[in-house]
Amino acid sequence: MHNILLILKQEYLTRVSKKSFIIMTLLGPLLIAAFYGAIAFIAVSELSNNEKLSIAINDKHDVLNHKIDTSKSMSFEFVDDIKAAKQKIETEDLSALLIIENAKGDSISTVSKKSLSFNEKNQLREVLFNQIFNSRLKNSGISKGSIDSMKVDIVFNSSSLSGKNSATETKSIVGYIGAFLIYLFIFMYGVMIMRGVTEEKNSRIIELIISAVKPFELMMGKILGVALVGLTQFIAWIFLTGILLTVIAILFGLQHADASTIASVKAIPQSGALAIMSNFTAQLQSLDFVKIIAGFVIFFFGGFLLYSALFAAIGSAVDSDTETQQFMFPVSMPLIFGLFIAQMAVINNPNSTLAIWASMIPFTSPVVMMVRIPFDVSWTQILMSAVILFCTFIIIVWVAAKIYRIGILSYGQKASYKQIWKWLRMKE
């Protein structure tokens, strides 16, 4: 135990003080923040920088009854002289000219210097539709009020038995991000362990070390040390990202979304991206974070330990990185498959039979269970999956340690499955 701690500490300190680690740790949150900031910037500039569009309408069939509401971002005037209007567009006194071609009002030509954006066209369409619809209602003697009273505005107030509000998209996003991070860290750090083992083997340090400690202690110390490095990086990412995002939020005036901000944001239909972001922030707060974080830690560690034991065994069996390919494939398959199932579960049904089974099978469970946890998976299921995962880990470590013990001292033989099988059956 003393030795495991010693090796753990050594692995941890060496790796954490590496330049590449520090750069990665700082760069990750910066990229996330830059991405988030870019969206926020676009959203806000959409909102404020848009100058008011002044639009001329040529309505020779009088479809609109010469009435149209000006909105916050658009003002309208009716013109008869198309030529004069076009000249005004040329001098940029007008943004665009709409020519309503027929009495039905479904064919409209637009003339503008810069072509209208998708968003602007949509808004125009909405304004025109409302005007035409209302004027026709009026013509047929139906009051707008009676129509409005017939409309039903449906709002889903979904809640699950736990009493928490549920927001499916948010859960999917949170679960998927968690699962993807687990997947990413297992690969990144698993391969790091594998490289480390091969390096120690090739540089022949191994002989010196295992004359002082047991191979099992060395392997466990390495795995746990690197796991802590991963966790450190992860916590640093969360922490730094949190700070950066808060800074960005304050910068763009996106307060922590309470109901009123959401409402006010919703009231401005053109701020699409902004609304989604605020919504997301608000819904995040409704999630069961204790469960999600506990789940993440359990499955991050469990999955990581399980896979890194396998990666360590591979690293010990080969003489160089190029030889690892044949072993990497079968080991990484279940993990990739797990991520695939996780994606399916997010889109379809997080409680489907396939998803439940995959979240119990130890090789896919770290990723799949993580996706499912935000969808109110019972603690019983989580614990059961965790127990299976950790039991499998113990078995795998035992097998991996056997391969490791012999592998690290076998040079020059081309590693093959046959060879490894022979090692497994070798006595102490």
Partner 1 sequence: MNENLLEVKNVSKFFTDKTALNNISLAVPKGYIFGLLGPNGAGKTTLIRIINQITQADIGSVEINGELLNQKHIRNIGYLPEERGLYKKLKVIKQLEYFAKLRGLGTTDAILKSTEWLKRMELYDVRNKKIEELSKGMQQKVQFIVSVLHSPELLILDEPFSGFDPVNAELLTHEILRLRANGTTILYSTHRMESVEKLCDSMALIHQAEKILDGKVSEIRQQFSIGNYELIVNGNYTPTLEHITILNSEIKDLNYSKLSLSLKNISNNDLIQDVIKQAEVIAFSQSIPSINDIFIKLVTQK
Phi and psi at residue 252, in whole multiples of 5°? -100, 10
Name the residue nearer to partner 1 (CB basis): 38 or 205: 205
For the chain, give the longest Cα–Cα distance. Answer: 99
Q: What's the min distance (Å) between Cβ of 26 and partner 1?
A: 21
Query: If binding is defined by CB under 8 A, does position 285 make contact with partner 1?
Result: no
**What is d(CA 59, CA 135) in angstroms, rounded to the nearest whole number?**
14
Q: Is 391 in the site for partner 1 (CB under 8 A)?
A: no
Per CB under 8 A, does 209 bind partner 1? yes
Asked if 207 is part of the footprint of partner 1 (rule: CB under 8 A), the reply reads: yes
**Beta strands across the sheet bearing 53-58:** 74-78, 53-58, 96-100, 108-112
**Candidate list 206, 313, 377, 403; residue touching partner 1; CB under 8 A:** 206
User: Does residue 414 belong to the site contacting partner 1 (CB under 8 A)?
Assistant: no
**Under a CB-based contact definition with an 8 Å cutoff, are residues 255 and 249 in contact?**
yes
Is 389 a binder of partner 1 (CB under 8 A)? Answer: no
Interacting span for partner 1 (CB under 8 A) from 6-14, 129-137, 238-246, 388-396: 6-14
Please tell me whether residue 49 binds partner 1 under the rule CB under 8 A. no
Binding-site member from 97, 174, 186, 210 for partner 1 (CB under 8 A): 210
Choose which of 22, 147, 212, 333 interacts with partner 1 (CB under 8 A).
212
Residue 78 and residue 156: Cα distance in Å, rounded? Answer: 42
CB of 425 to partner 1, least distance (A): 11
Q: Contact between 428 and partner 1 (CB under 8 A)?
A: yes
Applying CB under 8 A, the span of 41-49, 175-183, 200-208, 273-281 interacting with partner 1 comes to 200-208
CB 271 within 8 A of CB 164: no
Q: What residue ranges bind partner 1 (CB under 8 A)?
A: 3, 6-7, 10, 14, 200, 203-213, 409, 422, 428
